Structure 1
Amino acid sequence: MSRAGVYKVDITPPLGIDFIGYHRPTGVSNIDEHIFLTAFVFENNNTKSVFISIDNIGMLVEDTLVIRKQISSKLKIPTEQITVVYTHTHSGPATVSTKKIVKIYKDTLMSNAVKAAILADKNLQLSEIGWNVTLGELGINRRENTPDGKVIMGTNPIGPVDKRVGILVIRNEKTKKLSGLIIFCTAHPNVLKGDSDILSADYPGLTREILENILKCTVIVVQGASENINAMYRGSLENMEKMAQALSGYVLTMLPKVKFEPIKILKVVSTTLLMRLKEIPEPLEIHKMAKLAEKEWGVNTDRWHSVILDKRKRNETYLTINIEIQSTQINEGSFTGIPMEPFSETAIEFKEKLSDELAFFGGYTNGYLGYLPTKEAFLEGGYEVELNHVVYGPITNLWMPPDENTATLIIERALDLF
């Protein structure tokens, strides 16, 4: 039996809640658009899976696991068959804080995730699905080369970008009316920058609004390996509309060519890799890293500095952390995700090794830890390998960057899932 169900919940926070994504002095003072949580349930014979999209930058792995376990208990399916992805908007609300407003919001958000999955399951209907993929101009590589051979955050027009735009379309088997659309693309939802005080799902949210008005079905956008890929157009609501119009256009062009069939293959598999982090440096280098992060990103690095120094004194020079790699296959298409931000090169290599344009690979899946640079990126330097762990390590527990070979190991393990 081929069935699918969907349910969407409004998760717009109260005014005043902190942003996450840029270090802004004030909280949310204006709501440009509401943000949402959307749950899809897929069923084929004895297999059932849940796919949830949440409009925020990403939640901790442990909080995401709580959501997955609660849904697992309610729907009587393994936790490994539940996927939670984050749209990674840089204009969304915080979910990690000691502030009461954030704690209450997070609890409500997690409850809504479970509620949405349960109601999507109740909405199951006989369905058929179809895939399509094209190439689009949505993102631009942001690792700009400098004359001294190092990399800064900027623009690299010739840098690698996974330009694929893919769609998974769901429709009612009897009426042939569309019920859901999942878009896969690669570009940071960071059109609105740190000078914006507007709550927004960024271009994925506006794309959803445009397409839902046209197609009369529920739409979500899933991020690919977009760590080093900025949005092509940035800095204003007008540019956000340009991004959304471009993405919507690619989708609408592909839709007439989609061939539908029942869900014949439904597999969700998961594996865990013990990820080794880079060696903790000498105290002088630790101090330099902390000072640089304070200067360039305006953050307080006291906790990172003290924890890393303490670990160094106790000879804990090599840290490890578990990372889940999960793959969802529905008929001929698939999405493999990790709770990190992979470079676009990783997704390109993954689909090339599978020789499959419908094999999508992305981050922001089942939680958030930090960046996953390629081996080459460590030689070039830049924020992704030098400072990100200093800024966000105290929150995510990724205290140092992953070992240089980690991206390669993750690809190998992901390929094993197939």
Structure 2
Amino acid sequence: MNKQVKFQAAVAEVEITPDFPVTLIGGMPTRSKEVLHPLMSQVLLMKWGNDLTCLITIDNLGLTVELANKLRQTIATQLGITKAEVMLCFSHTHNAPQPTVGALNGERYFSFMEQQISLGVTQALAKLQPSKIGWGLTKSQLGVNRRVDCSVVDDRLGVLKIATLTGKPLVMVLRLTAHPNSLMPLSGVITSDYFHFVRQQLTAHFGCPVMVIQGAAGNVKVRGTDTITGGTLLEAEAAGKEIAEALAKMTINLVEVSEFQLISRELSFTSEVPSVAESQLIAHNAQKECGIDGTGWLAECQRLREAGLKQQVTDREVQFLTLNEGQFCGVADELFCELALLAAEKTTNRLFFLNGYTNGCTGYLPTEREWLKGGYEILYSNLNYFPFHGHVMPFRPETAAQLVEFVVEHKC
């Protein structure tokens, strides 16, 4: 690539808070009653030569992969690029609308969100300007592992700063790791959870929009919150303050872009279909241990068996966004934090960030060690969420290692 070609960037923010009642999902589905904090989406357009890409952050638990791809295609068509050049990153807030068929105003909300994000793309497209970038890395005490007998956390705070050629910041892209379900106990309340306070405090500090990307947070909660019942408004605000203080003294050197691309690769994950006896035992234990009604799940298991299926194979897109030495790598799964740490170690790149909640939100993907323990994330969550991610059982225990090896092999 000609070194005279300048990297260009632009950012826009749009609000995606509904002004009509919706079903909130993240705990027990409930009807929305009030708005505590607005839901936001930020659009970052980046162009280098003829390569144009779009990174979008969205305050939502996470769309199904099917709906995420529909949204990506809408944006891709608008920009004249391919779907693979659009990356969606969901905050995974547990107090956001369920934009699916069957939910209260689900299709209406998806259409509204799609229109608002498309508006953001239009606004950003009009503001592209030559830019420089810089990466920063620090640590925080934001998260704690919520699994029994496991203390591993990904305490890295990765920051991508994009600024004008004069050094004026255009956007700060922050990657962190902790489940945003602190405010889940506020039934019927719409909120972006602690992400609201992170953006609020950092926007004031840096003087530019702040985009927050969720990392591999499948087994990480916010420090001080309860694993089941979440936390309080004060704890969510404290989480925002923790992040702001960790980044306040950071110095980031700006440089020209020398490497830039957004690509996708695919691999397949396999899960088993349980026998009649296995499925009945799982449903019984899910009710006993977690209060989960497995009626619908049992019916789906029976349907799969009657169709002659013993396994389910899921194709998974893995996306890689590279800017100089830093890389965001994303999949739709709720990854356990150990996977992100292992990927960074194996790539020997401290700025290699493996993230979940990318281009959708599917079931949990644990390490083999945690898979063998079982529990809610591994097994029982599937009884609630199989209609959204499409498989009734967890992926095979070796899947996590398979994914890490795949991303290491395909990294740029």
**Could you state the TM-score of these two structures normalised by the residue count of structure 2?**
0.93
Give 1:258 shift: 0.4
The yes-or-no answer on 1:336 pairing with 2:336 is no
Distance 2:35 2:42 in 1: 19
Which residue, out of 34, 50, 53, partners 1:49? 53
Give 1:386 shift: 1.6
Match of 1:266 in 2: 260
- Encode CA deviations 1:101-143: one digit per residue, 9 max, x unaligned: 2221111112222232232122111111111001211100011
Distance 1:63 1:101 in 2: 15
**SS of structure 1 residue aligned to 2:152:** coil
Which residue, out of 171, 176, 180, partners 2:163? 171
Choose 400-409 or 295-304, whichever is displaced more: 295-304
Choose 259-268 or 191-200, whichever is displaced more: 191-200
**1:317-332 pair list within 5 angstroms:** 317-332=310-325
Distance 1:111 1:52, change over 3 A: same
Question: Amino acid of the residue matched to residue 334 of structure 2?
Answer: E
Query: Percent of pairs identical after alignment?
Result: 29
Match of 1:32 in 2: 36
Match of 1:314 in 2: 307
**SS of structure 2 residue aligned to 1:143:** coil
**1:70-149 pair list within 5 angstroms:** 70-99=74-103, 101-145=105-149
Question: Amino acid of the residue matched to residue 130 of structure 1?
Answer: G
The yes-or-no answer on 1:246 pairing with 2:242 is yes
**SS of structure 2 residue aligned to 1:189:** coil
Distance 1:295 1:103, change over 3 A: farther
The yes-or-no answer on 1:21 pairing with 2:26 is yes
Question: Amino acid of the residue matched to residue 162 of structure 1?
Answer: D
Give 1:67 shift: 1.3
Give 1:162 shift: 0.8
Contact 2:25 2:61 in 1 (8 A): yes
Give 1:17 shift: 1.6
Match of 2:217 in 1: 226
Choose 300-309 or 182-191, whichever is displaced more: 300-309
Give 1:296 shift: 4.6
Distance 1:416 1:118, change over 3 A: farther
Distance 1:122 1:296 in 2: 53
The yes-or-no answer on 1:8 pairing with 2:13 is yes
Contact 1:233 1:240 in 2 (8 A): no
Give 1:271 shift: 0.6
Distance 1:2 1:56 in 2: 30
Distance 2:357 2:375 in 1: 21
The yes-or-no answer on 1:161 pairing with 2:153 is yes
Give 1:300 shift: 4.1
Match of 1:390 in 2: 383
Match of 2:191 in 1: 200
The yes-or-no answer on 1:351 pairing with 2:344 is yes
Question: Amino acid of the residue matched to residue 202 of structure 1?
Answer: D
Contact 2:290 2:376 in 1 (8 A): no
The yes-or-no answer on 1:275 pairing with 2:264 is no
- Encode CA deviations 1:200-245: one digit per residue, 9 max, x unaligned: 1111121101121232211111111110001113211111111000
Choose 237-246 or 69-78, whichever is displaced more: 69-78
Match of 1:401 in 2: 394
Match of 1:151 in 2: none
**SS of structure 2 residue aligned to 1:361:** strand
The yes-or-no answer on 1:212 pairing with 2:216 is no
Contact 1:67 1:114 in 2 (8 A): no
**SS of structure 2 residue aligned to 1:387:** helix
The yes-or-no answer on 1:291 pairing with 2:284 is yes
Distance 1:374 1:99, change over 3 A: closer
Distance 1:201 1:84 in 2: 16
Give 1:192 shift: 1.2
Question: Amino acid of the residue matched to residue 210 of structure 2?
Answer: V
Give 1:195 shift: 4.3
Distance 2:362 2:372 in 1: 22
Match of 1:368 in 2: 361
Question: Amino acid of the residue matched to residue 131 of structure 1?
Answer: W
Distance 1:121 1:168 in 2: 20
- Encode CA deviations 1:134-171: one digit per residue, 9 max, x unaligned: 121110001114xxxxxxxxxx5xx1111101100111
- Structure 1's unaligned 5+ residue stretches are 146-155
Contact 1:171 1:179 in 2 (8 A): yes
Task: Give the number of aligned pairs.
Answer: 401
Choose 343-352 or 281-290, whichever is displaced more: 281-290
Give 1:355 shift: 1.1
Contact 1:233 1:239 in 2 (8 A): yes
Distance 1:194 1:288, change over 3 A: farther
Distance 1:294 1:114, change over 3 A: farther
Give 1:180 shift: 0.3
**1:172-191 pair list within 5 angstroms:** 172-174=164-166, 176-191=167-182
Choose 66-75 or 125-134, whichever is displaced more: 66-75
Contact 2:99 2:105 in 1 (8 A): no
Distance 1:106 1:297 in 2: 30
Give 1:313 shift: 3.4
Choose 373-382 or 325-334, whichever is displaced more: 373-382
The yes-or-no answer on 1:237 pairing with 2:230 is no
Give 1:15 shift: 5.1
Distance 2:348 2:132 in 1: 25
Q: Aligned-pair RMSD on alpha carbons?
A: 1.6
Question: Amino acid of the residue matched to residue 164 of structure 1?
Answer: R
Question: Amino acid of the residue matched to residue 3 of structure 1?
Answer: Q
- Structure 2's unaligned 5+ residue stretches are 1-5, 226-230
Distance 1:12 1:259 in 2: 36
